[in-house]
Amino acid sequence: MLNLILFGPPGSGKGTQAAILIEKYNLKHISTGDLLRSEVAAETELGLEAKKFMDKGDLVPDEVVIGMIGNKLDTEANKVNGFIFDGFPRTVAQAKALDSMLTEKGLSIDKVLSLHVGDEEIVKRLLQRAIDQGRPDDTKEVIQNRLNVYKSSTAVVADHYADQLKLADIQGEGSIEDIASRLAEQIDSISV
Ligand code: B4P
């Protein structure tokens, strides 16, 4: 098993790069953003609750997101070569919960790939996505809140994995192909 976390601020290219890496390494993609958006689209109880937070750019409560990941791990863990977690964990509580859910299954995270992108570039990318895809949380005010939430609640998750010697910092600006090569170099250096 090869288990990776793609980490970084909103708009740092996590979803974009995950799509490339799952093909290259034959891994299962778990994006909490995608899972939550499909709950919203299906108008489930969970989705209706999550939407209130997502539309403002706030984090959905930990217990909701952790429960969702727990279900995925239970149904998928014995069927796949490994996971790429994208957009999860976003708080230290989520990171600790992930560590223990994996330990229970005899698994662990191999590497956390942390994409670094400046605020100005992030705002530019997300405003462009607003034009291309019309996501409700890609407005100027909500983007600013998402960046603030990242700095106040999520950035510290990197320290949790740095303490475990699993953190790799990657320059996340440049062409999508160049960034994919930088990530592959890090992944190929893991001995599993
Ligand atoms: P996410 O769906 O995770 O949204 P995101 O942080 O914006 O990342 P995304 O993967 O979409 O963007 P990417 O960088 O690939 O979360 C949405 C919301 O869900 C959160 O705000 C929160 O409310 C909730 N949520 C999700 N997970 C949660 C959790 N664990 N706990 C609590 N709440 C949670 O791409 C951005 C754009 O940049 C794309 O349009 C892409 O085309 C472009 N791009 C990518 N790479 C580029 C490059 N190299 N150059 C130029 N453009 C590039």
Q: How many whole angstroms separate alpha carbon 35 and alpha carbon 111?
A: 22
Ligand 1, atom 30: nearest CA belongs to which residue?
Answer: 88
Pocket test residue of 90, 125, 139, 182 for ligand 1, highest count of atoms within 8 A of CB: 125
Ligand 1, atom 5: nearest CA belongs to which residue?
Answer: 10
56 C-alpha to ligand 1 centroid (Å)? 14
Average pLDDT over residues 12-36: 97
Q: How many whole angstroms separate alpha carbon 37 and alpha carbon 54?
A: 9
Ligand 1, atom 25: nearest CA belongs to which residue?
Answer: 33
Q: How many whole angstroms separate alpha carbon 116 and alpha carbon 8?
A: 6
Of 61, 83, 81, which Cα lies nearest the Cα of 72?
Answer: 83
pLDDT at 192: 55
pLDDT at 61: 98
Average pLDDT over residues 179-184: 98
Does pLDDT of 48 surpass 80? yes
Query: Per-residue pLDDT tens for 118-152?
Result: 999 999 999 999 999 999 999 999 999 999 999 99
When the pLDDT of each residue in the chain is averaged and rounded to a whole number, the result is 97
Residues annotated as catalytic (active site), given as ranges: 14, 90, 129, 135, 146
Query: Per-residue pLDDT tens for 52-65?
Result: 999 999 999 999 99
Q: Which residue has the tokens 């909500």?
A: 142
Query: Per-residue pLDDT tens for 102-127?
Result: 999 999 999 999 999 999 999 999 99
Query: Per-residue pLDDT tens for 62-80?
Result: 999 999 999 999 999 999 9
Q: Order across the sheet with 28-31: list the strands.
A: 28-31, 83-86, 4-7, 111-116, 167-171
Does pLDDT of 191 surpass 90? no
In our burial notation (b when 16+ CB lie closer than 10 A, e otherwise), range 71-110 reads: ebbeeebeeeebbbbbbbbbbeebbebbbebbeeeebebb
Q: Which residues line ligand 1 (CB under 6 A)?
A: 10-16, 32-33, 36, 53-54, 57, 59-60, 65, 87-88, 90, 94, 125, 129, 137, 146, 176, 179
Ligand 1, atom 11: nearest CA belongs to which residue?
Answer: 15
User: Phi and psi (nearest 5°) for 6?
Assistant: -95, 120
Pocket test residue of 5, 21, 32, 177 for ligand 1, highest count of atoms within 8 A of CB: 32
Q: Which residue has the tokens 């979803």?
A: 15
Average pLDDT over residues 21-45: 97
Spatial contact of 108 and 21, defined as CB atoms under 8 Å apart: no
How crowded is residue 2: how many other Cβ atoms within 10 Å of its Cβ? 17
Pocket test residue of 40, 55, 59 for ligand 1, highest count of atoms within 8 A of CB: 59
At 132, list the tokens.
């291309």
CATH class of 2-117+155-188: alpha beta
**DSSP assignments along 123-181, one per residue:** HHHHHHHHHHH--TT-SHHHHHHHHHHIIIIITTHHHHHHHTT-EEEEE--S-HHHHHH
pLDDT at 160: 98
Query: Per-residue pLDDT tens for 158-169?
Result: 999 999 999 999
